[in-house]
Homo-oligomer: A and B are copies of this chain.
Amino acid sequence: MKRYSVGVVGAMGAVGTEMLKILEQRDFPVGNIKPLDVKENEGKKVYFNGREVEVQVAQEGAFGDLDIALFSAGEAASCDLAPAAVSEGCIVIDNSNAFRMDSKVPLVIPEVNPEDVMWHEGIIANPNCSTIQMLVALKPLHDRYTIKRIVVSTYQAVSGSGLPGILELEEQVRAYIENRELKVKVYPHQIAFNAIPHIDTFTDNAYTKEEMKMVHETHKIFHDEKIRVSPTAVRIPVIRCHSEAINIETEKPIEAQEAKEVLSKAPSIKVIDDISANVYPLAAELKGTDEVYVGRIRQDFSVKNGLNMWVVADNLRKGAALNAVQIAETLIKYKKV
């Protein structure tokens, strides 16, 4: 079996750490692993398959011995280094927003549009976390009923901002309990005991970038510019796992019980929906899971063909690291690496 040299850029970050863990857990055919990070983390150790590995500096010249580099060190790092990595002969799977809407870059969710890896020119983009879990859940419904419109409100965890987000929430909560003043650094406002309708920066049309990602990425991944998406992205004081209240309107008649069966049979989806036993997906219980969890599936009585549902997934895994590793697996499957 062929083995691959794999680099992880941002190896010390929240997503990078998950990437290393997932490469191990899924027994990805790693020949050589190369954790890369900023200069300050040079020489620090990470563990991979029980072995200590030294972190090296992510910089030009560091990619020549790699087959695949998984990038998750932010948009600036991707802009700086991904083209260099490609010119050094390595395929980049990029978790940032840098190349997602670039027409030369495929944007891939392996359960939805795996074949798009075929036309890559060196870079493949990993979609935004809130888009990934939404589209994994909606793909089987779109195939069957043709979705016309999506109205979605998100309930997003602080780990979407990496370790600094988690530390800020924990510190603010501690300050509240100890009756100290809350300090605000990562978010524009206090996140403990709050709901902030503002993720990423605002754009000219009064939506945030996070919201517009859900619009544009849906079009690109579904290869369907006609689906209309109306998003509200909100940060809430949850550590890990994003939740989404999703409302869809379809071309063809949709019925909740049948939709539930369609979802139950779809890849990477787990339907958890037994309201008589208070069972539905919950962010606090799904840390470390790989599937997209769907519950509260119910007819939308306000429109001819409509459905409401509640979708939860681990934003660091399916929303980021896992999807990136699955893209690498898809490249191998299609012999594109």
What's the minimum C-beta distance from A228 to chain B, rounded to whole angstroms? Answer: 3
A275:B206 contact, CB within 8 angstroms: yes
Copies of this chain present: 2
Q: Given A155-B155, A177-B173, A275-B206, A301–B194 Cβ distance below 8 Å?
A: no
B243:A197 contact, CB within 8 angstroms: yes
Asked if A101 is at the interface of the complex by the 8 Å CB criterion, the answer is no
How many interface residues does chain A have, given as a range?
A: 35 or more
Asked if A84 is at the interface of the complex by the 8 Å CB criterion, the answer is no
Give every chain B residue within 8 A of A300 (Cβ-Cβ). 230
Give every chain B residue within 8 A of A284 (Cβ-Cβ). 189-190, 192-194
Main secondary structure of the interface of A (DSSP, over half): mixed
Q: Given A174-B177, A247-B151, A310–B232 Cβ distance below 8 Å?
A: yes
Give every chain B residue within 8 A of A205 (Cβ-Cβ). 298-299, 301
Which residue of chain B has its CB nearest to the CB of A150? B302
Asked if A238 is at the interface of the complex by the 8 Å CB criterion, the answer is yes
B238:A194 contact, CB within 8 angstroms: yes
Give every chain B residue within 8 A of A220 (Cβ-Cβ). none
Asked if A303 is at the interface of the complex by the 8 Å CB criterion, the answer is yes
Question: Which A residues have a C-beta under 8 Å from some C-beta of B?
Answer: 149-151, 153, 155, 170, 173-174, 176-177, 188-190, 192-198, 202, 205-207, 228-230, 232, 234, 236-239, 243, 245, 247, 256, 275-276, 278, 280, 282-285, 295-303, 306, 308, 310
Report 7 cross-chain contacts, Cβ distance below 8 Å, ordered by A residue: A149-B302, A189-B278, A193-B283, A194-B238, A205-B301, A230-B306, A237-B238
